[in-house]
Amino acid sequence: MQGVTPAAQHDDSAKRFATVGLILGIFLAALESSVVTTAMPSVLRELGGEHLYALPFSVYLLFSTVSGPLWGRASDLLGRKRLYLAGVVLFLLGSGLSGAAQNMLWLILARALQGIGAGAVLPLTLTLVGEMYTLERRASIQAFISGVWGISGLLGPLIGGLIADHLSWRWVFYLNLPFGLPALFLVWRYLQEVVQPRKTQIDWLGALLFTLGSGALVWGLQFKLWGLVALSLGLLVLAVGLEFRHPSPLLPTSGLRERLPRIGILGNLLAGVAYFGVIAYLPLFAQGVGGHSATAGGALLTPMLVGWTLTSILGSRVMGRVGLTRLTIWGFGVLVLSFAGFAALVHAPLIYLSAIGFVTGGGMGFSMFSLLLAVQSATPKEELGAVTSAILFARNMGGALGTALMALAIGGSAIAAGGSALADGLQRAFLISLGLMFVAWLLSLRLKKP
Low-confidence winner among 22-31, 148-157, 184-193 (lowest mean pLDDT): 148-157
Lowest mean pLDDT among 248-252, 320-324, 424-428: 248-252
pLDDT at res. 1: 35
Looking at per-residue confidence, does 280 or 208 come out higher?
208
Residue 218 has a pLDDT of 77
Question: Among 151, 24, 153, which Cα is nearest to 92's?
Answer: 24
For 5-50, write each residue's pLDDT tens digit: 344 444 778 888 898 899 888 888 877 766 776 677 778 778 877 6
Q: Which of 120-134, 188-202, 253-267, 393-407 has the lowest mean pLDDT?
A: 188-202
End-to-end CA distance of the chain: 42
The pLDDT confidence band at residue 200, using thresholds 50, 70 and 90, is: low
| Pair 389, 265: CB distance under 8 Å | no
Contacts of 213 (CB under 8 A, 6+ apart): 232, 233, 234, 235, 236, 238, 239
Residue range 248-306, pLDDT digits in tens: 777 766 666 778 888 999 999 999 999 988 887 777 776 656 555 555 556 677 788 88
Alpha-carbon distance 356 to 341, whole Å? Answer: 7
The predicted pLDDT at position 332 comes to: 96
In the prediction, which pLDDT does 341 show?
93
3-state secondary structure of 169: coil
| DSSP code, position 167 | S
E strand or H helix at 118: helix 104-132
Evaluate the CA torsion angle 44, 46, 48, 54 in order and state its sign. Answer: negative
Higher pLDDT pick, 293 / 164: 164
pLDDT confidence of residue 93:
95
- How confident is the model over 58-109, as pLDDT tens digits? 788 888 888 888 888 888 888 889 899 999 999 999 999 999 988 888 998 9
Give the dihedral sign, CA 32/269/406/239.
positive
Share of the chain above pLDDT 70, in %: 86
pLDDT at residue number 186 = 92
Q: Which residue has the higher pLDDT, 183 or 423?
A: 183
Higher per-residue confidence, 222 vs 70? 70
Mean pLDDT value of segment 366-388: 85
pLDDT at 271: 93
C-alpha 425/C-alpha 414 separation (Å) is: 6
* Whether residue 159 has pLDDT greater than 50: yes
Q: Which of 101, 152, 144, 111 is nearest to 126 (CA)?
A: 144
Q: How far apart are CA 101 and CA 98, in angstroms?
A: 5
Torsion, Cα 285 289 292 297, to 10 degrees, reads 0
Looking at residue 197, what DSSP letter applies?
Answer: P
Instruction: Looking at mean pLDDT, say which of 85-94, 298-307, 339-348, 412-421 comes out highest.
Output: 85-94
Phi/psi region, residue 287 (left: phi>0; alpha: psi -120 to 50; beta: rest), is: alpha
Burial class, 245, CB count within 10 angstroms (exposed 0-12 / middle 13-18 / buried 19+): exposed
For the segment 113-139, the average pLDDT, to the nearest whole number, is: 87
The amino acid at residue 338 is S
The pLDDT of residue 298: 60
Residue 165 to residue 158: CA distance in whole angstroms: 11
Residue pair 229/221 in contact by the 8 Å Cβ criterion: yes
For the cut 80, the answer to whether the pLDDT of residue 345 exceeds it is yes
- Residue type present at position 223: F
Nearest Cα to Cα of residue 288 among 155, 153, 411: 411
